[in-house]
Amino acid sequence: MPEPLLRVENLDVAYLAADGPVRATSKVSFTLEDGEILGLVGESGSGKSTVAKAAMRVLGQPAVITGGSVRFRGREVLRMSDAELRQWRWRDVSMVMQSALNAMNPVMTVLDHVLDTLAAHGITGAAAKKRAGELLDLVEIDRHHLRSYPHELSGGMRQRVVLGIALALTPPLVFMDEPTTALDVVVERQIMRKLVALQAELGFAVLFITHDVSLLLEFATRIGVMYSGRLVEVAPTQLFRDGARHPYSKGLLGAIPRIDSDEAPVSIPGSPPSLKNPPPGCRFHPRCADALDVCETREPPLVQIGADHWAACHVLEVA
């Protein structure tokens, strides 16, 4: 079997707190193939952003990777030197963060931002300026905005610019961490449609992090659900929409307001556990209506429950 574009295996990340390490993610494993959009969804603190940052080696202190493996086309990312990482980022993988305003330097123009990125990879002069114009065309921003400063652009335009910069070297993989969360819903949908159109045109893969499962139902190829630092279900989008099996995934789907149904959305009772002091066994058991005795003591492993369908739940193991 050829190696997938990205293979994350048993990824463990901890926050080094003064009173001891706190496990932020635990044994997270998934693959991402060329050209697909894998969405990772979960509540705040579920570890989804931590996974993306760890995979790209951009975690900030006090977070540290304590175990596991991240392979890009079979090459171990966790063993890359700083020089290798600098080359790998942007050329092979880029990242779009939640707030374009924070990602951009307020005293640099759009052109400066693009030229900086290209120069770091040896593209300068007329070729770089030509590429800057092409990138704005790509994300449908008028070229006169090359001279604009970030504060002169709307939130949606800034996010498009950041997306264009992320595609500057046409990487095969783009990480997107809540890239549309700060935008209103109309602009969010416009950006998502643009992203999907570009993805279809250029063929890059996306690891898309969000707390909004409805966005993934519309735009992702596959969906992975994170809860309290663990991946609890992974399935192709259609299968997930019609047949999610993990009780937490079903809760996420049941909480979506629907215009085609009289049924009121039902929110999941309770709140996510503290990572510092998580419950034993399945971390979802205090909120789970299906919990068995074993759920309070034994953690369910992520196992295959169908074709391309994985879940971590004791009920599904014995079914």
Per CB under 6 A, does 284 bind ligand SF4? yes
Q: Is 250 exposed, middle or buried (0-12, 13-18, 19+ CB in 10 A)?
A: middle
Per CB under 6 A, does 282 bind ligand SF4? yes
Compute the distance between CA of residue 90 and CA of residue 206 in angstroms, rounded to an integer. Answer: 14
Q: Starting at the edge strand that comes first in sequence, how are the strands of the sheet with 309-311 ordered?
A: 93-96, 173-177, 205-210, 37-41, 222-227, 230-236, 309-311, 303-306
- Assess contact for 190 and 167: CB atoms under 8 A: no
Per CB under 6 A, does 247 bind ligand SF4? yes
Instruction: Please say which residue, 174 or 235, places its beta carbon nearer to ligand SF4.
Output: 235
Output the CA torsion 71→77→80→85 (10° steps). 130
Among 111, 163, 275, 313, interactor with ligand SF4 by CB under 6 A: 313
Minimal distance, residue 240 CB to ligand SF4, in Å:
16
Among 285, 302, 309, 310, interactor with ligand SF4 by CB under 6 A: 285
Minimal distance, residue 283 CB to ligand SF4, in Å:
8
The pair of structure tokens assigned to 111 is: 């052109």
Per CB under 6 A, does 252 bind ligand SF4? no
The pair of structure tokens assigned to 5 is: 């574009």
Minimal distance, residue 284 CB to ligand SF4, in Å:
5
Taking contact as CB under 6 A, which single stretch among the options 23-31, 144-152, 277-285, 302-310 is the one that binds ligand SF4? 277-285
Spacing of C-alpha 174 from chain mean position? 9
Size of the site for ligand SF4 (CB under 6 A): 14
Residue 308 bridge partners (DSSP) = none
Instruction: Please say which residue, 41 or 288, places its beta carbon nearer to ligand SF4.
Output: 288
Minimal distance, residue 264 CB to ligand SF4, in Å:
23
Q: Residue type for 237, please?
A: T
Binding mask 286-305 for ligand SF4 (x = CB under 6 A): --x-xxx--x----x-----
Per CB under 6 A, does 225 bind ligand SF4? no
Minimal distance, residue 289 CB to ligand SF4, in Å:
8
Compute the distance between CA of residue 235 and CA of residue 79 in angstroms, rounded to an integer. Answer: 30
Taking contact as CB under 6 A, which single stretch among the options 14-22, 109-117, 264-272, 309-317 is the one that binds ligand SF4? 309-317
The DSSP letter of residue 26 is E
Compute the distance between CA of residue 70 and CA of residue 51 in angstroms, rounded to an integer. Answer: 10
- Assess contact for 55 and 207: CB atoms under 8 A: yes
Minimal distance, residue 233 CB to ligand SF4, in Å:
10
Q: Which residues bind ligand SF4 (CB under 6 A)?
A: 246-247, 282, 284-285, 288, 290-292, 295, 300, 313-315
